[in-house]
């Protein structure tokens, strides 16, 4: 059975090699190779997932080799392990990856650099599979870096375009690479520290060994920083979504890439890392738990407001991704803070929201991509009425089902996953849970508001005359499949506990009374939202209020994170320029500087003793 | 000290000298570029074999020791020079000086003989003589294209500043002699004539300053970017690889073997220097547009990473940990040799084809010549330290940080964090180059002029770099020294 893991990892990488081989001979072949390789990976992942439901399931390990031999320290190995969490993540990545790839067949048709797109798409799935199946931190880091590299290449996909668009795409790729690498420092640092302390980077050895308290704090903080960098939580949000006037962010890539990054791969890697840390390290320090709770709680609320203020459909979805990711982080934080049944329940609800978000967010992004592809615009005001029932039933289903699920309305999958997080946080007593509960509730209402905004503009708003609809069968099939999944996905609630039974027995449940109250309030909010957006008088009165105006402006600016980072970067550049002025190349000045530096050094050394 | 012993111990040096004589003769009588090149490569190869002819000290003599330290460093030096010989052959091909190839090779072999002396010496006098034997031919090599204004300016700079560094080093050595009354390492380590801290401090500082000059640590790095930008590219690769290895051999010998007892005096100096180097070296790279200058600053930064070894070595007490710290530095040194030569050979190809090393000339390298483009990307990723894809470049940095954490003091923690930060800053300038390499549009029209020899060098170096990443499997690091 262990050979199945090999399919998951080697099918995509084989696909990459084959695509490279075919690209000069038969360009058309590359996309089919890519589809096939990702399909094989998805099939292998689902097979393992089915196996893992049975009682006799035990994690499968496949060994590679000794890596570093040193005195007195056991040598780390490079191994792949398929445990429940890994298989689960691999399933999400490769199945959704396949749907997105299928969608791309039409979406990317005739693109100038189509081959490059397909190669990096496969490499992306490969990196993600490697990342989640790695059984030691070094291999995980490799997958982590490959995912980062691919996101760089895919976000910058349109760099060949002329003028502003190409420039922005290139910059956006570099921005994503730099921001995530900044956070990767944490991962590298954590790995080295763990290796130093435990003498191994292997997950099994790490989980069975005990670390001193202060080192544990250091390691977990370092790993958490790298996770929020990958997941674009505050303060690393700008690479994923930036204010409108800057417009250099991951949204510059093709919309399918946005779907892939947001739904299936890149940002979910951060959630995976924290889940893994939860399984490996017994974190007890209050400081760490507070950090892990406060960062996502604040992020969830603020990014939801940013989404409310934005009018670019991709930007709304990007902000909402960060906001929804924060839900998972909050649930995981509760899992870390608690012990026993509640802990596992919180962990499960995080995983549930992960898969639910993956489904409805890819639905939303792909529908948005479909609309953008048809009408060549990203602003919801310009796309008004394009998803109305009369015009385009498929787009209608995509937008309405996606938005209702995102807002957490029964019977869509988002309702179940969001309510299970809220239920867990309500059942747990203490300050941690209180913060999570109120942050989750607030975010849910703001989410309902921007969902009603999306629905209003795209579905109900008056449509101008538009030409005939171009038919895109593959795109429509994918949207239909995802819409169906969103509708029935709530059933996952039944399977997930037995899927994760490897880590202990628990159930996912929803407090129905509380949920119904919230549901009614959410529906009310959406209804009020629709009324406000529909009536010009109400809308202008509310948006004319000075307090609302100031707050809306702040939200639109992404709460000035972009400006802060830019200021830091400019300061660094200024410093470098200052230093460069001394490098004149003139021999006399150089000799003088050497003498001066020698004097300074002497005094420093003598002062240092 | 019998004749046989001496002969087999100094066999590689004799081979090099013999090679020099043959080269000069062939320059007079044969005058074929291929012959000079072949002679050089064969000489260097047989010198590598000769390194393994003798083990241990010469009987009744304390001035040389041919142990594992000598073998590792001497092999690396000679190995680097072989590849440099390939690059020189490609570089000096189409101008007036091309038939003078033998002279450049002579100078290079002389420098290698100096490197062997440095690696084997256990006495300050041969150590210093070997070091100068490396430095003086180096000036000549930089000045070789004397008709070019930039090259002669570079030669002038490296000569004057090198002389300054030499004087500092000699002054430091004489103060060291004054303080200890001995020139041999083992007695220097043991004996103390005068235990005046000021004297020790002054001597240490002079030595640190002199060595930092040669290694290019900030704030003694001023000459590097000018010399790199002015000198012929193949000579730069010599300086970035062979000279750097010999420089570090000298520094390791001096600080870690001769005066480890004075570590109180020099650790702090090296801490300050390495921190400055890793930050400023990388920050300056960000602003450059000429690839040679970017390479110069990356060279400075890499020297900074390796120099962390001094601190790591001094701050651990266990002998296993000490040898691990040294091994980490050595691994990174191998990585720098492999990656720098392969990156610079790509620069050489571009400069030869388009006449300048401006960033725009690197456009479309990936599509126009996949071998060159791909190995260039691997080399840059190695210098960046990308895990696995970067090969040995990653392993080296990883081990250095690991050794720093092993030392577990405030200083080494700071250094570990600065090292990681520095390598993140470096991503900016390496990514800029990679970005240009990937772009297809506005690529230079003219085809790339490459040669079989350089392609061979590129392929061998890239594969070696990736393959050696798994050297932990073959050679346990604690047995490396």
pLDDT tens-digit profile of B123-132?
999 999 999 9
Distance from B2 to chain A by nearest Cα, in Å? 38
Partner residue opposite A576 with nearest CB, options B283, B387, B406: B283
**Closest residue, chain A, to B162 (C-alpha):** A591
Q: Is A178 touching B (CB cutoff 8 A)? A: yes
The region that residue B56 occupies, defined by phi over 0 for left and psi between -120 and 50 for alpha, beta otherwise, is left
A15, A34 Cβ separation under 8 angstroms: yes
B37, B85 Cβ separation under 8 angstroms: yes
Are B284 and A579 an interchain contact pair (Cβ–Cβ within 8 Å)? yes
Are A178 and B440 an interchain contact pair (Cβ–Cβ within 8 Å)? no
Same domain, B397 and B480: yes
Residue A26 sits at the vertex; the CA angle it makes with A22 and A27, to the nearest 5 degrees, is: 90
**pLDDT interval class at B77 (50, 70, 90):** very high
pLDDT over 90 (residue B442)? no
Which residues from chain A sit within 8 angstroms of residue B389, using beta carbons?
145
Tell me how far apart the alpha carbons of residues A169 and A75 are, in angstroms, rounded to a whole number.
43
Same domain, B270 and B207: no
pLDDT over 60 (residue A182)? yes
The CA distances from residue A373 to A39, A109, A255, A463, A472, in Å, are: 25, 11, 9, 18, 10
Q: Is A585 touching B (CB cutoff 8 A)? A: yes
The stretch A66-95 carries a mean pLDDT of 76
pLDDT over 90 (residue B263)? no
pLDDT at residue number A584: 77
B345, B458 Cβ separation under 8 angstroms: yes
The stretch A283-294 carries a mean pLDDT of 87
Tell me how far apart the alpha carbons of residues B114 and A92 are, in angstroms, rounded to a whole number.
61
The tens digit of pLDDT for each residue in A319-362 reads 999 999 999 999 999 999 888 888 899 999 999 999 999 999 99
A148, A163 Cβ separation under 8 angstroms: no
pLDDT at residue number A600: 80
pLDDT at residue number A607: 65
The stretch A447-452 carries a mean pLDDT of 93
Tell me how far apart the alpha carbons of residues A559 and A307 are, in angstroms, rounded to a whole number.
12
Distance between alpha carbon B366 and the CA centroid of its chain, in Å? Answer: 28
Are B324 and A70 an interchain contact pair (Cβ–Cβ within 8 Å)? yes
Give the 3-state secondary structure of residue B49.
Answer: helix
CA atoms within 13 A on the CB side of A184: 27
**Closest residue, chain A, to B213 (C-alpha):** A594
Which residues from chain B sit within 8 angstroms of residue A67, using beta carbons?
470, 472-473
The CB density around residue A335, as the number of other CB atoms within 10 Å, is: 25
**pLDDT interval class at B99 (50, 70, 90):** low
Which residues 398-427 in chain A show a CB within 8 A of chain B? none
pLDDT at residue number B408: 81
Beta bridge partners of A70: A73
The stretch A408-420 carries a mean pLDDT of 91
Which residues from chain A sit within 8 angstroms of residue B398, using beta carbons?
192
Which residues 332-361 in chain A show a CB within 8 A of chain B? none
% of chain A with per-residue pLDDT over 90: 33
User: How many domains, chain B?
Assistant: 2
Tell me how far apart the alpha carbons of residues A40 and A327 are, in angstroms, rounded to a whole number.
32
Strands (E), B182-224: none
pLDDT over 80 (residue B96)? no
pLDDT over 90 (residue B79)? yes
**pLDDT interval class at A250 (50, 70, 90):** confident
The CA distances from residue B121 to A368, B54, B239, in Å, are: 71, 14, 22
**pLDDT interval class at A206 (50, 70, 90):** confident
Q: State the residue for tokens 């899992």.
A: A335
Where helices occur in A238-340 by DSSP H, the ranges are: 255-259, 266-280, 286-309, 313-337
pLDDT over 80 (residue B309)? yes
DSSP A428: S
Q: Which of B258, B273, B289 is the last residue of a domain?
A: B258
Same domain, B372 and B229: no
Q: Is B201 touching A (CB cutoff 8 A)? A: yes
| b/e B385-396 (16+ beta carbons within 10 angstroms → b) | bbbbbbbbbbbb
Same domain, B219 and B309: no
pLDDT over 70 (residue B53)? yes
Helices then strands, counting H and E runs in chain A, come out as 23, 2
pLDDT at residue number A349: 92
A204-213, B309-318, B433-442 — which is least confidently predicted? B433-442
- The CA R_g of chain A, rounded to the nearest whole Å, is 25
The CB density around residue B189, as the number of other CB atoms within 10 Å, is: 16
Same domain, B302 and B237: no
Helix B197-215, helix A587-608: angle, nearest 10: 140
What torsion do the CA atoms of A19, A22, A27, A29 make, to the nearest 10 degrees? -70
Same domain, B295 and B358: yes
User: Which sign does the torsion angle of CA A23, A25, A26, A27 carry?
Assistant: positive
Comparing B411 with B190, which gets the higher pLDDT? Answer: B411
The tens digit of pLDDT for each residue in A141-175 reads 888 988 988 888 899 888 778 778 888 888 888 88
Same domain, B237 and B267: no
Same domain, B380 and B449: yes
pLDDT over 70 (residue A314)? yes
Distance between alpha carbon A366 and the CA centroid of its chain, in Å? Answer: 16
Mutation for A interface: B211, B219, B222, B477, most A CBs within 10 A:
B222
Which residues from chain B sit within 8 angstroms of residue A69, using beta carbons?
472-473, 476-477
Which residues from chain B sit within 8 angstroms of residue A160, using beta carbons?
439-441
The CB density around residue A347, as the number of other CB atoms within 10 Å, is: 25
Are A192 and B439 an interchain contact pair (Cβ–Cβ within 8 Å)? no
Are B470 and A65 an interchain contact pair (Cβ–Cβ within 8 Å)? yes
The stretch A76-95 carries a mean pLDDT of 86
pLDDT over 80 (residue A123)? yes
**Closest residue, chain B, to A589 (C-alpha):** B222
% of chain B with per-residue pLDDT over 70: 96
Comparing A450 with A388, which gets the higher pLDDT? Answer: A450
Same domain, B314 and B167: no
The CB density around residue A203, as the number of other CB atoms within 10 Å, is: 21
Tell me how far apart the alpha carbons of residues A210 and A212 are, in angstroms, rounded to a whole number.
7
Q: In whole numbers, what is the pLDDT of chain A averaged over residues?
A: 86
| b/e B438-475 (16+ beta carbons within 10 angstroms → b) | bbeeebbeeebebeebbbebbebbbebbbebbbbbeee
Q: Domain range spanning residue B136? A: 1-258
**pLDDT interval class at B291 (50, 70, 90):** very high
B37, B28 Cβ separation under 8 angstroms: no
pLDDT at residue number B244: 94
DSSP A23: T
DSSP B366: H
Q: For residue B123, which phi and psi values (nearest 5 degrees)?
A: -135, 140
Same domain, B442 and B351: yes
Q: Which of B258, B286, B315 is the last residue of a domain?
A: B258
The stretch A586-593 carries a mean pLDDT of 83
**pLDDT interval class at A30 (50, 70, 90):** confident
**pLDDT interval class at A74 (50, 70, 90):** low
Q: Is A584 touching B (CB cutoff 8 A)? A: no
pLDDT at residue number A65: 57
- The CA R_g of chain B, rounded to the nearest whole Å, is 21
Same domain, B270 and B136: no
A293, A431 Cβ separation under 8 angstroms: no
pLDDT over 80 (residue A3)? no
Give the 3-state secondary structure of residue A586.
Answer: coil
Comparing B472 with A192, which gets the higher pLDDT? Answer: A192
| B203 contact partners, CB below 8 Å, separation of at least 6 | B172, B175, B176, B178, B179, B262
Which residues from chain A sit within 8 angstroms of residue B157, using beta carbons?
587, 590
Q: Is A520 touching B (CB cutoff 8 A)? A: no
Tell me how far apart the alpha carbons of residues A580 and A230 are, in angstroms, rounded to a whole number.
33
> Between A and B, how many CB-CB pairs are < 8 A?
133
Comparing A104 with A19, which gets the higher pLDDT? Answer: A104
Q: Is A141 touching B (CB cutoff 8 A)? A: yes
**pLDDT interval class at B246 (50, 70, 90):** very high
Give the 3-state secondary structure of residue B152.
Answer: helix
Partner residue opposite B441 with nearest CB, options A160, A195, A576: A160
% of chain A with per-residue pLDDT over 70: 96
Same domain, B380 and B243: no
Mutation for B interface: A185, A587, A607, A609, most B CBs within 10 A:
A587
Q: In whole numbers, what is the pLDDT of chain B averaged over residues?
A: 88
Partner residue opposite B386 with nearest CB, options A67, A145, A573: A145
What is the DSSP annotation of A89-148? Answer: HHHHHHHHHHHHHHHHHHHTTT-TTHHHHHHHHHHHHHHHHHHHHBSBHHHHHHHHHHHH
Comparing A2 with B456, which gets the higher pLDDT? Answer: B456
pLDDT at residue number B193: 65
Tell me how far apart the alpha carbons of residues B305 and B28 are, in angstroms, rounded to a whole number.
44
Tokens found for residue B152: 């002669």
Q: Which of B225, B258, B291 is the last residue of a domain?
A: B258
Most confident of A246-260, B35-49, B180-194, B265-279: B35-49
Tell me how far apart the alpha carbons of residues A59 and A552 are, in angstroms, rounded to a whole number.
50
A359, A486 Cβ separation under 8 angstroms: yes
């Amino acid at each position: 059975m262990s050979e199945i893991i090999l399919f998951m990892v080697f099918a995509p990488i084989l696909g990459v090699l084959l695509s490279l081989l075919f690209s000069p001979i038969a360009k058309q072949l590359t996309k089919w190779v890519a589809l096939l390789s990702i399909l094989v990976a998805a099939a292998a992942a689902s097979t393992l997932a089915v196996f893992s439901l049975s009682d006799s399931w035990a994690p499968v390990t496949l060994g590679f080799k000794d890596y570093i031999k040193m005195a007195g320290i056991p040598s780390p190995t490079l191994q792949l392990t398929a445990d429940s969490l890994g298989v689960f993540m691999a399933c999400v990545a490769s199945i959704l990856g396949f749907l997105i790839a299928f969608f791309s067949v039409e979406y990317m048709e005739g693109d100038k650099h189509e081959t490059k797109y397909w190669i990096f798409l496969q490499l992306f799935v490969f990196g993600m599979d490697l990342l989640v199946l790695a059984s030691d931190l070094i291999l995980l880091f490799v997958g982590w870096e490959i995912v980062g590299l691919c996101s760089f290449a895919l976000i910058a996909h349109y760099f060949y375009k002329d003028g502003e668009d190409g420039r922005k795409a290139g910059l956006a790729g570099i921005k994503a690479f730099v921001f995530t690498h900044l956070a990767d420092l944490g991962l590298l640092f954590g790995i080295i520290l763990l290796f130093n302390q435990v003498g191994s980077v292997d997950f099994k050895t790490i989980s069975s060994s005990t670390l001193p308290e202060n080192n544990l704090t250091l390691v977990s903080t370092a790993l958490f920083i790298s996770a929020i960098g990958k997941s674009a939580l505050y303060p690393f949000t700008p690479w994923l979504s930036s204010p409108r006037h800057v417009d250099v962010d991951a949204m510059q890539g093709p919309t399918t890439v946005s779907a892939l990054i947001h739904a299936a791969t890149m940002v979910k890697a951060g959630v995976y890392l924290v889940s893994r840390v939860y399984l490996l390290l017994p974190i007890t320090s209050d400081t760490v738990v507070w950090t892990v709770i406060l960062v996502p709680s604040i992020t969830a609320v603020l990014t939801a407001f940013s989404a409310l203020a934005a009018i670019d459909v991709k930007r709304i979805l990007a902000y909402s991704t960060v906001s929804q990711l924060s839900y998972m982080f909050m649930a995981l934080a509760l899992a870390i803070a608690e012990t026993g049944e509640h802990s596992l329940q919180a962990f499960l609800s995080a995983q549930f929201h992960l898969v639910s978000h993956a489904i409805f967010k890819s639905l939303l992004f792909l529908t948005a991509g479909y609309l953008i592809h048809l009408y060549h615009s990203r602003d919801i005001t310009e796309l008004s009425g394009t998803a109305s029932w009369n015009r385009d039933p498929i787009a209608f289903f995509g937008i309405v089902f996606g938005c209702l699920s995102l807002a957490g309305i029964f019977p869509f999958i988002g309702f179940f996953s969001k309510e299970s997080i809220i239920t867990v946080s309500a059942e747990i007593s203490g300050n941690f849970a209180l913060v999570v509960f109120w942050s989750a509730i607030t975010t849910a209402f703001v989410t309902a508001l921007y969902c009603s905004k999306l629905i209003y503009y795209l579905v109900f708003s008056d449509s101008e005359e538009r030409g005939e609809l171009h038919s895109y069968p593959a795109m429509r099939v994918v949207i239909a499949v995802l819409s169906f999944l969103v509708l029935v996905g709530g059933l996952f609630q039944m399977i997930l506990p037995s899927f994760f039974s490897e880590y202990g027995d628990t159930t996912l449940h929803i407090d129905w009374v509380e949920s119904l109250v919230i549901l009614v309030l959410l529906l009310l909010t959406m209804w009020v939202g629709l009324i406000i957006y529909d009536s010009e008088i109400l809308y202008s009165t509310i948006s004319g209020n000075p307090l609302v105006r100031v707050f809306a402006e702040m939200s639109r600016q992404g709460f000035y994170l972009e400006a802060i980072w830019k200021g830091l970067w400019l300061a660094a550049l200024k410093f470098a320029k200052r230093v460069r002025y001394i490098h004149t190349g003139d021999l006399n000045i150089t000799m003088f500087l050497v003498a001066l530096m020698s004097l300074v050094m002497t005094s420093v050394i003598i002062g240092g003793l | 000290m019998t004749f046989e012993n001496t002969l087999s111990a100094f066999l590689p040096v004799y081979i090099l000298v013999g090679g020099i004589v043959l080269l000069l003769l062939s320059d007079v009588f044969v005058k074929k570029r291929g012959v000079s090149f072949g002679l050089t490569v064969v000489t260097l190869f047989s010198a590598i074999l000769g390194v393994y002819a003798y083990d241990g000290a010469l009987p009744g003599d304390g001035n040389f020791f041919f142990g594992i330290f000598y073998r590792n460093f001497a092999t690396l030096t000679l190995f680097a020079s072989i590849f440099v010989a390939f690059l020189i052959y490609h570089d000096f091909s189409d101008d007036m000086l091309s038939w003078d190839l033998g002279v450049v090779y002579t100078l290079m072999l002389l420098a290698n003989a100096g490197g062997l002396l440095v690696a084997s010496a256990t006495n300050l006098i041969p150590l210093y003589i070997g070091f100068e034997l490396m430095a003086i031919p180096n000036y000549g090599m930089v000045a070789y294209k004397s008709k070019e204004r930039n090259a002669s300016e570079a030669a002038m700079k490296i000569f004057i500043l090198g002389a300054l560094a030499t004087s500092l080093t000699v002054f430091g050595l004489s103060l060291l002699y004054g303080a200890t009354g001995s020139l041999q390492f083992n007695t220097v380590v043991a004996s103390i004539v005068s235990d005046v801290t000021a004297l020790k401090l002054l001597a240490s500082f002079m030595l640190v300053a002199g060595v930092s000059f040669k290694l290019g640590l900030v704030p003694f790095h001023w000459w590097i970017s000018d010399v790199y930008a002015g000198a012929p590219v193949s000579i730069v690769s010599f300086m970035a690889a062979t000279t750097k290895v010999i420089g570090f051999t000298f520094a390791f010998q001096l600080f870690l073997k001769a005066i480890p007892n004075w570590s109180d005096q020099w650790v702090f100096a090296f801490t300050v220097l390495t921190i400055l180097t890793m930050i400023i070296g990388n920050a300056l790279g960000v602003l450059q547009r000429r690839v040679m200058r970017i390479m110069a600053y990356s060279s400075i930064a890499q020297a900074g990473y390796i120099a962390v070894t001094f601190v790591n070595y001094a701050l651990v007490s266990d002998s296993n940990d000490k040898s691990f710290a040294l091994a980490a530095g050595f691994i990174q040194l191998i990585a720098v040799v492999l990656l720098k030569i392969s990156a610079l050979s790509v620069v050489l190809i571009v400069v030869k084809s388009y006449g300048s090393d401006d960033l725009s000339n690197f456009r479309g390298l990936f599509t126009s010549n996949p071998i060159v483009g791909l190995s260039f990307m691997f080399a840059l990723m190695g210098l960046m330290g990308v895990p696995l894809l970067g090969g040995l470049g990653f392993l080296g940095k990883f081990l250095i940080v690991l050794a720093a954490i092993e030392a577990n003091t405030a200083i080494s923690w700071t250094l570990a964090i600065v090292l990681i930060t520095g390598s993140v800053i470096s991503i900016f300038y390496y990514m800029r180059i990679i970005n240009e390499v990937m772009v297809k549009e506005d690529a230079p029209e003219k085809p790339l002029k490459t040669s079989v020899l350089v392609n061979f060098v590129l392929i061998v170096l890239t594969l070696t770099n990736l393959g050696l990443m798994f050297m932990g499997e073959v050679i346990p690091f604690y047995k490396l020294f």
